[in-house]
Structure 1
């Protein structure tokens, strides 16, 4: 199980659902078919544990707000002018 927002190197998989951990976000993508059987029950428990940990990280955000976090998406702002290296 990952520790949400704690680092940039953890990932996990539940069925075909991929969860990637970063310090400023948790990325979830893929598919998860929860069948009404024992395997589906185990996957549902894993999903529940993951979302509980994510919610706890938000609730404990006073700790996380002390970190200076930046993501590539936030740093790629189109309104910033840069010098053209070819001129």
Structure 2
């Protein structure tokens, strides 16, 4: 059974110059997400699932952490998920 999904996305990004850098920027972003996938019934109770989802939080300027002039970062993710579900 194919499906599509979409809606509001909320995510938190934390970025620093080095893992132990005192200059760290952490912020919660809102954006949008859109995806598609399919479920396949192996039995009456076991489903196989595969899905793809793209999430976009926009762009952020990190020049206060990184010294180079073009420190704009695209905050987006692409996820591929596979799984097994049990239906009661």
Question: If the length of structure 2 is used for normalisation, what is the TM-score?
Answer: 0.24
Give the TM-score of the pair, scaled to structure 1: 0.24
Q: Which is strand-richer, 1 or 2?
A: 2
